[in-house]
Structure 1
Amino acid sequence: MRSTTSELNWSGTVTYTAERVVRPASIDEAAEVVARSPRVHGLGTRHSFNDVADTPGILLDLTGIPTDLSVDPERRTVTMGAGTRYGIVAPEIDRAGFGLANMGSLPHISLGGAIATGTHGSGTALGSLSTAVRSFELLGPDGGVRTIDRDDPAFDGAVLHLGLLGIVTRVTLDVEPTYRMRQDTYGPIPWDTFTEHVAEVHAAATSVCSYTVFGDEISEVLLKSRVPADAQDVQVPDELFGAPRLPGSPGDGHHTARDGSVGPWWDRLPHFPIESVPSHGSEVQSEHFVPLRHAAAALDAVRSMAARIQPHLHVCELRTMAADPFWLSPTQGEDVLCIAFTWRKHPAEVAALLPELEGLLVPFDGRPHWGKMSSLDAGAVADLYPRLADFRDLVSGADPERTFASAFGERVLGT
């Protein structure tokens, strides 16, 4: 078991205030730390851009616990360590003959952290990564193991928990027979054409991602299409609302192949291969979810700030997600459009822009991504999540001594 201090998040913009970071090599070691620590919190691959994973006590970095993949062909599930990175385990799942329905754009993130914060890929008919969870094991305040599955009345409140219910050690996910995909590039699409047809654009393939800097156009649209099991390929359109299909690029060590070539699901659903440096590598991020029915109006509202946004922006990626029932999910109750900003590494300037940007999204019920920058406080968040009081009760019952409490939970959720 390794112990360190003065740790940073991936972008180097958040310094954890924890007393120290402990990296256990086994679940038993993690349980020992929990049992003797008055304050402890789980830490994954550090891709959050705020203090959601921080604690005044001990941070448990779970990425050193072995994956220990277990495949159950009859139940169509896979079980593995929560600190496992998607990109590391996905090829193993594929070799076993199965596939995940969805992955995030970054394969570098851990299962436990992604699930606990509502992280997602894209696809109007696809749920967030949390929706694949069949069950999970977590360490309670005394270090004992508890399993929560879909039959548990608390399941919908517990899956997306921001680390406030305990330390998740193993996760069981639904899988399906393995499949292949292709990724094609289209663009540009004039802004007004896109906003008029935003839902249709994002329904044009299994997974669709669009990019803009809030000028006069959507610069690029990626269509990720499933190939039927009994086919060598699948037909894709030559144009998308007037935008031509572009040559795209083969996999180059930084991006997964975007040239229409067919490959395994785990090398087409993400944007980046596991061996690459994810995204720009020097950035901060914010993400804002609005019901899909409000997509056009919400995008036009954000575009009104274009002159102030653009000097600090790498790019904005637009994605869609299917509704789910989870109490703290940004997709709780309704399909959404995700407006995901990859900002330049200007954290102070971005923080100054966010109150106005998020204020513009208030009429459209804009919800923040739990792991990204946001200006919303507990009052604003309470208005957006009708089951928040139930979640607070769930936390109080599971952790009456506040072993897993965090400053983020107190400030943003009132827990």
Structure 2
Amino acid sequence: MTLTNWAGNVRFRTTEIATPSTTDEVREILSSAGTVRALGSGHSFNLIADTDATLISTAKLVAAPVIDAEARTVTVGAGTRYGELASLLEAQGWALSNLASLPHITIAGSVATGTHGSGDGVGTLSSAVAAIELVTADGEVVTLRRGDAQFDGAVVSLGALGIVTRVTLDIEPSFEVTQRVFTGLPLETALENFDAIMGAAYSVSMFLQWTDPDRVDQVWTKARGEQVPVIPGDPAPATERLHPLAGVSAEACTEQLGVPGRWLDRLPHFRLDFTPSNGDELQSELLVPRRHAVEALRVLRTLADDIAPLIQVTEIRSMKADTLWLSPAYETDAVGLHFTWKQDQPAVEAVIAKIEEALAPFEGRPHWGKLSQASAADRARVWPKLGEFAELAREMDPQGRFRNDFLAFLDDVGR
């Protein structure tokens, strides 16, 4: 049987798939020689998880969550999906501060690739990590906690340091969110009022389909408590639930129309009990420092004719700075320019190359789990700690057991 990623554009080369359910079982797998990679939900679009040797699925690494109310943390198995953890937390009156658009993705895989949600005052998913437990190449179980010397380098790890078995996340008391969608905002109005729009609610996303390159098709706002978003330019409030893609049923989307609800039922764009699409898509994303966002979007607008024939939707989101070495928001507030493409990989990769070249002056960081044409030199230019991360990987995995073709660029930095 051929194993593929969620989108089907990657066919993993291995036929050796292990499904451990405990840390000790991971140690046993690592007691045998050979290279190893970890696989979460498969919601990546490049070869980051690929190997021709042993692939460790984290699907059964789902140890029951342990809540520490005094520390305001929860420790959970690496393969647990965010949506599943959210329900368990809510049942005990707790919440996560942030969720991605899909609650279907695994915690360890999301953290390792720097995946994020949205919100001017909210960090990436990885910024909520308080501790990680991983098994190194020699079978040692290592726990790193926030404040430890290697912690900031080890959280967004690309799977290069070991097999993560448990993750400890910050939590807070449960809260309600109200989601509203607005339509038909002129792009120029959005750019002139960018900070006001992105700060209009706890979480804000702008969607463009590029059929009209001068228009933001939808603005999704997720407000906490009694906050009512005010969007400059007075775009029309939606009168029915909408999907980010025009003409697609909103059945799989979370509740909108200003109806208050639990954080876990509003912060994601899509519901856990629905598959949001059939995976017939490709994704790429550049995350630019907030100070460059408006200018970067003006340049992106000049590429509309290249983008439009291949795009399904572009989403613009924000996040606050953190200190994690390979985070997209390392030492800068950041704005994500996310692209969901039609599944024509050669044509899409050609347009991605154009986008990355045009936005190079704005220090864009490509998402680690999505398509990119960035070279090792390109990555080293925008991640100042990449060389130190490469050294950390060599220190923790001197035999290169967790290395694969995707991570070969680490050989070109840090020496």
TM-score range, shorter chain: over 0.9
2:126 corresponds to: 130
Q: Which amino acid aligns with 1:246?
A: A
Distance 1:313 1:93, change over 3 A: same
Out of 55, 62, 65, the position equivalent to 2:58 is: 62
In the other structure, the counterpart of 1:275 is 273
SS in 2 for 1:355: helix
Distance 1:402 1:115, change over 3 A: same
User: What is the CA distance between 1:26 and its match in structure 2?
Assistant: 2.7
1:172-198 per-position Cα deviation (integer Å, ceiling 9, x unaligned): 101011111010011211011111111
Kept after mapping to 1: 8 A contact 2:223/2:229: no
User: CA offsets per residue over residues 252-303 of structure 1, 9 Å max, x none?
Assistant: 6400011111111011000011111124631000000111111121111112
Work out whether 1:88 is the aligned partner of 2:99.
Answer: no
- Whether 1:73 aligns to 2:65 is no
Which residue is equivalent to 1:189?
185
Higher mean alpha-carbon deviation, 240-249 vs 329-338, is at 240-249
Relative to structure 1, the CA distance from residue 77 to residue 402 in structure 2 (aligned partners, 3 Å threshold; closer, same or farther) is same
Partner of 1:36: 32
1:412 Cα deviation (Å)? 6.2
> Cα distance, 1:324 vs. partner?
0.8
> Residue by residue, what CA displacement relative to the aligned partner does 1:197-245 show, whole Å, maximum 9, x if unpaired?
1122100000000101231210110110011xxxxxx141465432132
Tell me which of 9, 21, 24 is aligned to 2:20: 24
Against the structure 1 CA distance between its residues 91 and 285, is the aligned structure 2 distance closer, same or farther, given a 3 Å change threshold?
A: same
CA contact (8 A) 1:135 1:150 kept: yes
Counterpart amino acid of 1:16? F
Q: Distance in 2 between matches of 1:152 and 1:167?
A: 19
Taking the aligned partners of 1:152 and 1:320, their CA distance within structure 2 comes to 28
Cα contact 1:377–1:412 (8 A) shared by 2 = no
Against the structure 1 CA distance between its residues 109 and 30, is the aligned structure 2 distance closer, same or farther, given a 3 Å change threshold? same
Aligned partners of 1:348 and 1:120: how far apart in 2? 27
Return closer, same or farther for 1:280/1:223 CA change in 2, 3 Å cut-off.
farther
Report matched runs for 1:206-221 at 5 Å.
206-214=202-210, 215-221=213-219
Match of 1:107 in 2: 103
SS of 1:122's equivalent in the other structure is coil
Contact 1:195 1:295 in 2 (8 A): no
Q: In 2 relative to 1, CA 292–363 (structure 1 residues): closer, same or farther, beyond 3 Å?
A: same
Instruction: Tell me the SS of whatever aligns to 2:222.
Output: strand
Aligned to 1:355: 353
Residues 120, 127 of structure 1: 8 Å contact kept: yes
1:40/1:55 contact within 8 Å kept: yes
1:265 to 263, 281, 306: 263
Aligned match of 2:289:
291
TM-score by length of 1: 0.94
What SS does structure 2 have at the residue aligned with 1:187?
strand
Question: 3-state DSSP class of the match of 1:295?
Answer: helix
Mapped pair 1:246 → 2:244: no
Conserved? CA contact 1:104–1:119, under 8 Å: yes
Instruction: Answer yes or no: is the 8 Å Cα contact 1:382–1:413 preserved in 2.
Output: no
In the TM superposition, what are the counterparts of 1:321-400 in structure 2 within 5 Å?
321-400=319-398
Distance (Å, rounded) in 2 between the aligned partners of 1:258 and 1:344: 26
Specify the alignment match of 1:308 in structure 2: 306
Between stretches 377-386 and 30-39, larger displacement belongs to: 30-39
Opposite residue 233 of structure 2, the aligned amino acid is: F
- Matching residue of 1:236: 228
Match of residue 42 from structure 2: 46
Specify which of 76, 90, 93 is matched with residue 97 of structure 1: 93
SS of alignment partner, residue 406 of structure 2:
helix
- RMSD of Structure 2 on Structure 1 (CA): 1.6
Equivalent residue number for residue 154 of structure 1: 150
Q: Partner of 1:231 in structure 2? A: none
Aligned residue for 1:311, secondary structure, equals coil
1:390 offset after TM fit, Å? 0.8
* TM-aligned CA distance change 1:140 to 1:238, over 3 Å: closer
Distance in 2, matches of 1:320 and 1:359, equals 22
Q: Secondary structure at the match of 2:43?
A: coil
Unaligned runs of 5+ in 1: 228-233
Query: What letter corresponds to residue 155 of structure 1 in structure 2?
Result: F
CA spacing shift, 1:166–1:351, aligned 2, 3 Å? same
Alignment partner, residue 247 of structure 2: none
Shift of 1:371: 0.2
- Residue in 2 that maps onto 1:230: none
When the two structures are aligned, how many residues end up with a matched partner? 405
Change (3 A) 1:128 1:243: same
For the 8 Å contact 2:201–2:229, the answer to whether it is kept is no
TM-score (ref. length: structure 2): 0.94
Q: Which amino acid aligns with 1:303?
A: R
Kept in 1, the 8 Å contact 2:184–2:235? The answer is yes
* Aligned with 1:180 (options 153, 176, 185): 176
